Each structure stands twice: as C-alpha cells, then as structure tokens.
Structure 1
C-alpha cells in the first residue's frame, strides 16, 4: 500500500519543493504523460486521502490526493459520427502514436505534430524498425486528411486537417482542466491566483492552454520537468504515518483517551524513523483527527489542538468550504487518530541539483535594463487559434538567464518541449522557466 501512486507522488514532492523555492506558494500540479494526466492541489501542505478507489479496489490507506484523467500524449483521437472524442483508449508505447512508425492510431501527440507544435527535427530519432528514424509527419498528415474528409461529409462543411487536430486538442484540454477543477474549484479553492506547475513528458506542450481554461495566469516549468517524478523521489522526506480507529464522539469526556492514542502513535512513528537512521531532534510531528458528522461517512482531516471547541469550529468551516454547508447542530465523531512523523530531506533544490539543465549562454551584466536577446534556431509555421503563425524555435540550454520570449514560441529542452501560446511570454530563470499570460483587454 505504500507504493500506490508512488510515481505521481514523487512528481508532486518535486513540483512543490521546486515551486516553493522559486517563490510560488500555491500551486496546482499538472503531470501529463503518455496515457494519463495526474493533478493535485497544494496550498501550504500536501493533501492526502485516507479512503480511495484504485483500479476498482477500495483502499483504506493514506496516500497523496491525486486525481487522474485518461488524457495523455498517447490518448486515441477519433470521430464517433457526431463528436470529437479523446481517450480513454491509449496507443501506449507499442504501437504508439501514428507518427511513431508502427502503424498506430491518431493521438494527442499526432495533433501536436499536425499543428507543428512538435517538430521532428527537434525530437529524438528513435522510431522505425531500427529505432533510428524521426517522427513520421507525413503519415500523421495523411491520416488527418482522411479523417478531415470524413468529418467534413458528416458535418456538411469543409474541415482542414490542422483545424481537426486543434479541435481534438481542445477536447483534451477541457478534460484535463475539468480534472483540476475537481480537486480545487469543486472544493472551494479559487485557483486564479495559483501557479500551474507542469511536468511529465507532455505537460509543457499543453500547460498554457490548460492554465488559460482555468483562469490561471502563471505556469512554472522546471528544467527537469520531463523526469520530475523520478527527481522528486530523491528530494522526498522520510515519513512514518501511523493511525488508529477511534469512533468516539468529539467531546470532553473522550478527549483524554484520544490524546493517549495520539501519544502512542507518535512513539510508534518516531521508532519507525529511528530504524531508518533519522535524527531524532530534527523530526517534525503532525497530529490530525479524521472527523465526520454523526450519521455520515465522509470524514475530513483536522489538525489536532487540545481544545474541543476549536476542533469543532474548524471542522464546520472545512465542511462548509468543501461542501457549501455545515450542520452545526449535528454531533461530531472522531473516526481516526493520525500521526505523521517527518524527517526532512537534506537534498537541496536549486542550482546544484539542476546544473545539467541550466542555460549556459553568456549571462546578462548586473543592472542591465534590457533582457538579453534570445535568437531562435529557426522560425517555422505553427497552427495556433485557427491560423498558421510564424513561430520561433528556441533551445533552452542556449538561452541566457533573464531572457524574455514572447509567444508564440517553442522551447525545446533535453527532456521535453514547452509550447508558449500566443498571448503568453516566457522568462528564463535560474531555476527554470516562468510563463505568464498577458492581461486580456
């Protein structure tokens, strides 16, 4: 049970630590890979769920609160006779997208190839029978032309292949944005002041579009975004979490018993960390109670304080925030006592851990008023918002810190590609890239 969703959890750890280091206190994490997208919410602390369903199996164990939707780079795109559909089927790695030269179906990756957002010349040549060929743009274009013809007949109007590809991208973006709404907006959080932290192999290709759909104006991209989940495991703290079922009313007569449970759990958690050679003096302890209304089955975690009245008012406020109402005349039940002991990782986030991916061009002089010039490797036509636009392609490692690039643009990194949509600009930072959306007039 400790390994459930461990990959995405590693990404959340890394994204939060790198985002906080870069000055972003409230973030929505957006991890888009080949088959799915995982999203999570962070506003000062990691959110956990204690009762969830994974692959159809109910799991009563603490884990990161992660919501998954079947939209990834390999999600199959098709027309059902009336609507554009994306997923839940995935082409996987074999055969993979059509452009992978294995006879695969059209996917989200192919949509980005069709619109020019993914350029074969700036993509690894690892395809074909000998894994030494580039993406097959021609095969993707042929399939999109055929599909556009089919849709044109059904719709009764002419559809261009690139417009069809952009339509599928819009469907995928809406699906991913709705996933984020479920873990934020639907729980009472206004994400317009948050930063979208994107990672995963396909995250940077769609981050601006997802952020715009949610009303988010900032996107942060770490230099290791394509492998951030693996990076995050190395940054993770060592944590021991212990819990005990209580099932007692939240009342003064049961408080001493609950306090005893918490003290015993703290001892168990500290002992578990000691076995992993953790420094006892540096261990942080967090105590929580899972509380619910009597007659209901949806507990919420409340930070423990030795005050029944404060615990009660905090629970009512949390319930109102998440569900829009509070039953203040209803008795409260302490369902579970939880203790989390944390041994903080001494791995530092910043220049030393991301050196291999940092820009190496000449740095701007101190006090320079103008940002250093960024010269594209190439200017090509890319399809944005219904038309082809001249778009610069930049190599991230060649960009000087503090460089400012106006969208549309394509930033090619060692482990990913970031698309800067029209109306956005990107600032190159020591710790990565920050994309900002211009205020709409």
Structure 2
C-alpha cells in the first residue's frame, strides 16, 4: 500500500469511455489515474492509487465522491427498469402524444422515440385546479390492476395525478403509492415529489424517467457501496451538488459526470479572479460548453435523449464535434459529425481494419496539431494523406485546404455552441475568458476563441481529468420547489409564502444532515420564479436573505421587481415595468460549505510510460490561420518557464502534456498563472468578416460553385439565427399553441423573399412563408425601414396562422 489509508480522498468521474480518478493522499499530494470504463473501473482506480492488487478488499475510512454517466447511457441505450405509468383517466396517451417537437424535420417516415413506460394504467383519480378531490379509485379494483401489471413483469411505477401539486393531489398520489407497494412494487415515483409545479406532461415525463432510471442506478450504487465498507460515498447530482449514495436517484443523475466539469470551471474562475468564463470541454465524441459568472446557471426543464426532465440541472450545451467526429463531403458542402467513428476502429490514422471515414483526429494530424510521437502505437499518416488527396480531386481544393476546411467547420460548430450559452441568453461572449479542458480542447481552443472574439484562454494542469477534480470541490446540496399560487407580486405576497419556504427548508436541512453535513455549515438560498401576468415563461430570481419582515417588505419587493425587469430585458430584449408580475414557484437551495482545498495539492510525480524527450522533434510544421508555418517549436508543459528569464511563449507553438496537446496559434502569447495554470492572450484586432482574414477566397458573382467550406459555415450560422428566433418566440409567447404545442416556424429569407435557412420547427408553414415575405416586400418596397415589423395572416398571401 502506497500510504496509510486514513485521510485518502478519491474523486471519480465514471464516463462512457474512460473513468478518471483524482486522489488526495494523507500528505496532501494529488495522484491521477485514467482507466477504460467498466463496472469495476472506479474500484480498480482506487486500488491502483492505493497500490493494492486487483480484487483486493478495500480498507475503510476512505472518502469517495463520484460522478457517473450511467443514467445518461441508460437513457440513450434504453436500458432502464420496466416501468408502468399510473395516470388520471383520460390522459393515458399523454406521453405518446407529447408535443409537436420534430428532431428530424423532413423525415417522411417519422419514428417517434418510444415512451419509457411499458404500460399505462388509467385510474379514477382526479383533483381540481383549486385542490378539490373529484375522484378516488376503488382500492380493491386498483389492487387487482396492480397485481396484474406486476405479473406481466413491470417492477417500477410512476404515478401522475392531474393537479398533483395541490395538497389533495399529493395526498391522492401517496394513497396510490401505498396500494402499489402492497402489491410488490419496490420502487414508486410520485410526480409531485420529483416536480412540484404546473404542467402535467413535463411532470409525468419526469416521474417516468425517474422510475426508469432509479432502480438500475441504485443497484449499481449498492454494489459499489458494498465494496467500500466503512467509507463515506457521495454522488454528484446534475445540479452540481453532492448527495449521499442513499439519496441518489435517476432524475438527478443525468449529467452527473459533466456537472463536475462545470463546478471545476467555477472554482478555477474564482481562484484566478475571472468574472465571466466559458467552459470548453472537447472530448472524443462531443464538446460540452457552459458559462459561469459568479453563480451557477441552471435550467429546470431539459430534454435529454428525447425525454423531457424537470429537475435542477447545470446549464450545459453539447455539440457533436469531437476527435472521432466524421468529416464528410457530399458534393456541395463539408460537414463534421454528428456521427463518430468511435474508439474502435477509430480514426483513419489508427490504421485499424475497418477504419474508413476521415475523423477530426485525422485532420489535426494532417495540420500538425498533434504529434505521432505521443501515441502508444504508430499512426498511419499515409492513409490520411491519401484520403485528403481523394477529396482534393473531388473538390478542386488542395489537400491542405481540404483539411483546413474541415477544421474551420468544426471550429464554427463549437463556436455556435458557445453562442448558445452566452449570446443567445443576452451575454457578450467577448467579455469572457475560456477555460479549456478535455483531451482535444487544446487543439481547437485558439481557433474557436478567435471566431468568437474571446481574448483569454486558461489551461489547467489537470485539464484531462478536470471533471473529477471538480467533484472534489463540490458541496453537499439539496434543491426543493413548491407551487406559489400565481400570486401577484404586491405587499403581503412574500409573507404568504413564508410557510412554504419554511417547509422546504426543513426538508432540505433534514436531508443534508442525514448526508453528513454539520448544521451550522448549511446555507440557505431562496428564489422565486416570476413572470409577467399572461405570459408562460418565468425567470428565477434570488430573494434577499434573510427574508424581510413586514416593515422592510415593500423595499424588498421593489428590489425583487427591479431584478426581474433587468433579467427580463437581458433575456428577451424588452421589459414592461408597469405590467403585473406574478409568483409562479418558490424554490429553496441548501448547501453545506464545500472543501475548496479538497482537490488541491502538489501533483505527485507519475512518469509517462515510454516518455523520452529525445524522441520528440524540436520543431514541426503547423497549419494555422490558413497558412503554413515552418519550424514551430515543440515544448513539454513541465519545462515551460523553467529557463532563467523565460516569462512568456509566443505563438505559434505546440505544448505537450501527458494526455493532451495545446496548440498556441500565431498571435497568441502564453504566460504562467497561479496554481500551475497557463493563460494565453490574444491582443490582435477582432477577426473581421472578410475571407482574406479567415484564410480563404471570397466568392465572386461569376463563381460556378460556392466554396463548400464557406457554404457549411454560413449555413450553420443562418440556422443558428433561426433557432435563436424560435427560442425567443417560445419564451415570450402568451399562446398555448406556441408555448406548449410548439406550433410555429422560424426562417431567414433573402432580399427577394427566397428561403435561406429555417430552424427545425413545424414544416407546414415553410411551404408558404416565402409567399408571405414576397408579398410584404412587394407592397412595402419603398417604405420599409430598419426595425419595422409586419404581421400577415391572409390565406391568399401565404398566411397560415393567427399572429401570436
């Protein structure tokens, strides 16, 4: 055993491909392990770092914190429990109908994702919106139905009663659950326990998802806990908070692993004094991005793998562009992803049988952004060169131009994801620094930042395992919500909510103390969801702490309203200061003070197998900014800034780490920062829109065919604009048709009224929208001015909808 076990702390991110483990030994040194993921990988990582043989029993007294993608994978693979849904009579087909969301917009044979529940049981259980009990099922008949469902193999139940957010609705769901347990069901999820607000569809889907994921998740957690007797085991929740293993459930586990990366980004920003940051995590199959500006941004309703889940979840945006993403040319345009070559056979350069399409890793190799010397096996560079030559013949571009084109398309796609968590929410991305992590992030970071106008990049020394490190600094936490009755925000409204807040706080304190939190370490944050009366989209606003008494309530209400107006203007571009505001939902967040030093310490020396500086070239050829750069220096990260007088590194340069490569593009300057971090800055003028600045050729009127790279990049940008229009329309709509049925379409048109790009909305409108736009242009060509807005619903001019 490497050291005495008391005081050992393990922070584990169990991903789909790799399991990362950061350990802090009793002396405060950090150790790192990375293993291929399997059911036993977390235990194997602990044994490896403790110096124990495979299969050896683990000692007690350990502290283990873990994030996992098990729940996400179960959703994607449809590998959860066999679930039955019990719902108010008349709503049995609710989940099958869903809303009008169509991920594959123009598919002629629509394949809707199957509901997670195998069976639906409609029961006479109904409550009015005012909380009046309207119908209660016959217990004997219901038990007969439950036993029949159990006999058919259903083992987990979700119960969703109409208006279950009312006291009578909650009591009715509990009655049904008690009857179900007498019939053998080991797990029952009640909709009001997993989602306390309005919206039967979202509440029922969340309950079914929880019932689907929790039984297999708890089975796996139970096996892990049994192998760690006498140790404390906590799990990372999607909210960014930890909980005891006994409290970990399916609906809170969906982004358990990636949430650790968001927490790490927040902690690193705090330590470096950065006010607004973007987290950029690029892996093998996808790129996750997030934003942090002093407090966590959370979404409370998210769609994952085709399933709507209503639960506190750190705001992450994922794009299917990673090292394994397939690079293709369809005769007109370049594309990157969403398909991936996977780990086996992997990219073309791996040289394995069956490897076919080019992947982004191949493109990085061709452009000199990764070195073959850092791989544990020889790379087949010749296969990549041959594939690029074939594409060169098809496109008429040189092989380096083809590679640069795919690189530019991928960078543009990742930049669009970052805009989705910043610009689309009313934030100027140019005012942010970008924290880069993940195995491939360093290869693309400078290019993506340049695309966005971001001037500062941060590279942590443990960037390859940053999600695991973030789990180490996370806190114990609990989130609760309750319906606020849609009271108008006026004197007395907050006082009426006091009992609701007190009940939520009491539940949260009990949960955290059971998890091991000290009572005096628990901090409480109260929030309310506010919206303008008549609209459907609330904004979550923090209340002042402590809650004001009667004398101070008026001042508190004015401050709360001012916060809401400012947030509404930032999110939606307008505000209605005199319009009534209503309270939709009360929220409480409790957290026990985290341990900021838990995953800090000196990194223990861990030799890289086969590492030999002598085998690495001193210089390489690099393609960057559309140009070929000769004799670009290659540096090892551990030797940076160790020579006397060396304080900065000018790009272009390659910096090699144990598990990743950082490409410092021309124009960037890198310096050492606190905690072993590297900071790169770009002080050049903001990148312009001319193709000369972007390293390509601008199209001319006589061009026979458009540039396939520019076509894809501009197409993606236009599509993103249309999608952002849809988000704004849905968020500001007062119509149920628009807000919940998603019965709308958004598109961009050129000056002649011809369709340029459309978002993936309802197709029926797109066939006539161009006629509507052409009509408006024709009738107003001489009078239209910037900022004008037109509404049209004449059926002879293409109108299909009442203006919302």
TM-score by length of 2: 0.49
Cα deviation for residue 233 of structure 1 reads 1.3
Q: CA deviation at 1:237?
A: 1.2
Of 487, 510, 515, the match for 1:276: 515
Alignment match, 2:653: 409
1:141 and 2:385 are equivalent in the alignment: yes
Aligned to 1:39, which of 286, 289, 293? 289
Q: 1:382 aligns with which of 606, 610, 622?
A: 622
Identify which of 451, 455, 460 aligns with 1:222: 460
Match of 1:100 in 2: 350
Deviates more, 1:257-266 or 1:209-218: 257-266
Counterpart in the other structure of 1:365:
none
Q: Does 1:289 align with 2:500?
A: no
- Alignment of 1:199 with 2:437, yes or no, is yes
Aligned CA distance change for structure 1 residues 185 and 68 (closer, same or farther; 3 Å): same
- 2:317 & 2:539 partners in 1: Cα distance? 17
Q: Give the 3-state SS of the residue equivalent to 2:416 in structure 1.
A: helix
Deviation at 1:356, TM superposition (A): 4.8
* Equivalent of residue 25 in structure 1, options 256, 275, 285: 275
Q: Give the C-alpha shift of residue 310 in structure 1.
A: 2.1
Post-superposition shift, 1:398? Answer: 2.0
Q: How many residues align?
A: 410
Deviations 1:173-225 (A, max 9, x none): 11111111111112221222211001111111111111111111100010111
Q: Please, which of 433, 438, 441 is the counterpart of residue 683 of structure 2?
A: 438
Once the two structures are superposed, the pairs formed by residues 118-129 of structure 1 within 5 Å of their partners are 118-121=370-373, 123-125=374-376
Matching residue of 1:321:
570
Q: Which moved more, 1:399-408 or 1:319-328?
A: 399-408
- Asked if the contact 2:472–2:598 (Cα under 8 Å) also holds between the matched residues in 1, the reply is no
SS in structure 2 of the partner of residue 334 of structure 1: strand
User: What does residue 362 of structure 1 align with?
Assistant: none
1:17-47 deviations in whole A, cap 9, x for unaligned? 1232122222111111111111111111000
- Quote the residue 2:184 is aligned against: none
Offset at 1:270?
A: 1.3
Tell me how far 1:294 sits from its aligned partner: 2.2
Q: Are 1:335 and 2:584 matched, yes or no? A: yes
- Whether the 8 Å CA contact 2:457–2:681 is kept in 1: the answer is yes
Q: In 2, are the aligned partners of 1:248 and 1:254 still within 8 Å (CA)?
A: no
Q: Which runs of 4+ in 1 moved over 4 A?
A: 353-358
Per the alignment, in what secondary structure is the counterpart of residue 257 of structure 2? helix
Counterparts of 1:135 and 1:170, CA distance in 2: 23
Pair 404,97 (structure 1): closer, same or farther in 2 beyond 3 Å = same
- 1:115 to 2:354 alignment: no
For 1:64-120, what per-residue CA distance to the aligned partner results, in whole angstroms no more than 9, with x for missing partners? 011111111111111111111111111121222111223142111111001111110
Is 1:31–1:203's contact at 8 Å kept on the other side of the alignment? yes
Is the Cα–Cα contact under 8 Å of residues 565 and 575 in structure 2 kept in the other structure? yes
Q: Which structure shows the bigger proportion of residues in strand conformation?
A: 1
> Partners of 1:421 and 1:179 in 2: how far apart?
21
Distance 1:346 1:230 in 2: 14
- Please give the secondary structure, in 1, of the residue aligned with 2:252: coil
Which of 398, 406, 413 aligns to 1:175? It is 413
Contact 2:473 2:599 in 1 (8 A): no
Q: Work out whether 1:398 is the aligned partner of 2:639.
A: yes
**Do the aligned partners of 2:668 and 2:680 also contact (CA within 8 Å) in 1?**
yes
1:349: Cα distance to partner?
Answer: 6.8
Coordinate RMSD, CA, aligned: 2.0
Output the CA distance in 2 between the equivalents of 1:228 and 1:221.
10
Contact 1:219 1:434 in 2 (8 A): yes
Deviation at 1:247, TM superposition (A): 3.0
Q: Describe the shift of the 1:36–1:308 C-alpha distance in structure 2 as closer, same or farther (beyond 3 A).
A: same
What CA distance in whole angstroms lies between the structure 2 residues aligned with 1:143 and 1:247?
Answer: 63
Q: Which moved more, 1:197-206 or 1:287-296?
A: 287-296
- Map Cα deviations across residues 33-63 of structure 1 (whole Å, 9 max, x no partner): 1111111111110000011111111111111
Length-normalised TM-score, structure 1: 0.88
Larger Rg: 2
